[in-house]
Amino acid sequence: MPPPTPPRLPGPEDERAQRAAMAASLSLLAFSMLTTLALLAWFSRAEQPWNWKAAVAMFAAMLGLTTSALLWRAPSRTHAIAGIVVMVLSLVRVGPPWDWTWVSFALLSVTALMLVPLVNAAMVLR
């Protein structure tokens, strides 16, 4: 029977993975909070607030919060990819390009910027 191996100390690769997972989790948390704030603003101003875009935003906020918690508690490449899928599918609410306004471009830009830590985590994590 081989002797027991001592516990492995965290190396630079493990620290990089932990930092990437934390940044991805915080990015998803910020995405969820901004989506929730946008929903609150939408509900306060719109005459008919309930539509499919509001439903997509609500589900994106809930799933973003869930994947953020998963990345925080159990960082893995699968959870990072799930976060990417949530953020990309949330862009469905932007609608077709002929209906875009400056808000649509802002939403696309902010989402793309918030995807950067998630893509990094998906590349770094195992």
11-67: per-residue pLDDT in tens? Answer: 777 889 899 999 999 999 999 999 999 999 989 998 888 899 899 999 999 999 999
pLDDT band at 8 (very low <50, low <70, confident <90, very high): low
Q: Is residue 114 part of a domain?
A: yes
Q: Is residue 40 part of a domain?
A: yes
Q: Residue 86: which domain range?
A: 16-124
Which whole number is the average pLDDT over 58-79? 95
Q: Is residue 5 part of a domain?
A: no
Q: In this structure, how many other beta carbons lie within 10 angstroms of the beta carbon of residue 105? A: 11
Q: Is residue 91 part of a domain?
A: yes
Q: Is residue 6 part of a domain?
A: no
> For helices 52-73 and 12-45, what crossing angle results, to 10°?
160
Of 24, 23, 30, 41, which Cα lies nearest the Cα of 84?
24
Summarize the chain as % helix, strand, coil (round to 5): 80, 0, 20
Q: Report the predicted TM-score, pTM, of the whole model to 2 decimal places.
A: 0.86
pLDDT band at 7 (very low <50, low <70, confident <90, very high): low
- Please check the confidence at residue 1 and state whether its pLDDT lies above 90: no
Q: Is residue 1 part of a domain?
A: no
The whole-angstrom separation of Cα 107 and Cα 111 is 6
Number of domains in the chain: 1
Q: Is residue 11 part of a domain?
A: no
